[in-house]
Structure 1
Amino acid sequence: MPTVELTKDNFEETVTGSEIVLIDFWAAWCGPCRMFGPVYEKAAARHSDIVFGKVDTEAQPELAGAFQISSIPTLMAVRDRTVLYSQPGALPPQALEDLIGRIRAVDMDDVRRQAAGSRGAK
């Protein structure tokens, strides 16, 4: 599946309507972003069940600000509307594949139980 350009207009719908969404926060002037782009595109072609979104931080400063993106590229992984990963830096192909495997393996019931427990422990 090709990557999807995420904007403030389609971001919420994309994230809530998909089980797993990877989001690449990038900018055209960013050298590491340009190097990571083809790695990200190839992964998107291999994993058609995952939405691979791209947020151009120059065109979408509201989204970058909402997620406190201060360094690009930043890769974020969202599963079942929960952010499981958010780190700056371009990943090499194998590290991206490893991350995708870890995101798939997360027990979301356990994540929800932990979140509910931390909300109740005040």
Structure 2
Amino acid sequence: MKIIKSLFAFAAFFALNSVSAQTITERWPEIRAYHEVISKTFHASEEGNLDPIKTHSELLVEKAEALSVENMPEEFRSPKLIESLVILKKETKKVNDMVQRKQSDAEIKKSLAALHDTFHKIVGLCKEEKK
């Protein structure tokens, strides 16, 4: 019975986090557009496939440039989030530059992972600000 209760609590926790993430992307369409590209490229890289980031690195830069304080929902705005957004843009450009310079897959993958972490930091900060 304890196992069932634990599984239920675990499922409820993830359901609540999913709802929060959906709300963030619904309220900030530009972050949703960025997420669509970063998720395709990063998750493929985890499996050793860097073709998606090599194909879409310029699109990722475009989506990063579309992220701005002006189109960010008011309730998400904070100095930490704005600072993280600046970092995200720089890291996105760095990944694109690495792709354009045909750096090693290992280097691109490492930078893409750091970029993905920064993206999730932003989503986490949005959740904190919304509370």
Same fold per superposition (TM over 0.5): no
TM-score for the superposition, normalised by structure 2: 0.27
Q: Whose helix proportion is higher, 1 or 2?
A: 2
Whose radius of gyration is greater, 1 or 2?
Answer: 2
TM-score normalised by the chain length of structure 1:
0.29
